[in-house]
Structure 1
Amino acid sequence: MADRVSISFKLGGHLTPETWLALAAVIAGESLSIEWDGPAFESSHRTVGEPLELFANEVAWGKVEPLETFCQDHGLPYRFWAGGFFAEWSAERIVFRGEGTPDSFIVDESDRVLIDRHEVVRRGSVEGILGYFDEAEFTVPPLVIEGDPDIPAEADGQETAHG
């Protein structure tokens, strides 16, 4: 039987309506909700002009790989937290900025960023350590679907993801 923990996932970026429907299907397939212990996700649950926040308890190994892969493939930035499981693994925050590779940060069960001795030595200075915390505090942009009311799809210069 899989070890299970709680997760939260906040995502944003720009999508076509077709890609939004594909994303909504991935989210529903992962049994996520817009609130803790809330109803199953439906595409109508999105709030226009805001990032999409998703939650779930009892997620096997704290993994939602299909959702992470979809976001990475479509350049959708996200911030993902998964709780730890006793002595098996620690809580973690994953940040994907819409390109490149995701960054992983050690956090506690309240999603507060922690730092270990190895990272302190690697960073080498107070400024470097503060930079680590700054990197972890990524602000996810709104999730914009092409054609959203009052929000131009190209308002901030980002390309619309097609998929």
Structure 2
Amino acid sequence: MRAIRVTSAALLTTAALTLTSPTAVAGDENITSFGFRVTPSTVAAGGQVTLSVDNCEHAAKVTSGVFDDVTVPKGQKSATAHVFQDAKPGALYEVTFTCGPESGTTDLTIATGGGRQSPGTQTKGVKAGVGGSTGGFDARHVAVGGVLVAGVLGTAYCWTRRRPDSGHS
């Protein structure tokens, strides 16, 4: 009878740890401790984009083949870049954000269309997420997960330590 309780407790603990642990995407090397985004994510050749970083404790360097290198100074959250006039419509360009020793990438698409934009006109794009895996993840989630794991472990410990009733020996 004791073996059944121990096995049940072990399975319950394993299930709880599996369900409460954060999931990682296999092969996703774009996970950083800082957030980053390009707004808009689709822009016309010659247009302007805003390069934003969150939680970067260093000056952030932003590079791409479609605009000159840009530095977001320490303490600031964004900077702007002007896309080259000769950027190929429909092309997808990689934008690399570097904060200290970490780097992450996102894509910037050059818009296709029949007409040219007049100077000063901005193309509105889809608002991008925070980049990386930090979106929506905070200390509260970690605390709740820790409490759940501790509760499962405590319950499993109590079940394994419970003594059989004297009438069922």
Instruction: Decide: shared fold, TM above 0.5.
Output: no
Q: Which has the larger radius of gyration?
A: 2
The TM-score with structure 2 as length reference comes to 0.30
Structure (1/2) with the larger strand percentage: 2
The TM-score with structure 1 as length reference comes to 0.31
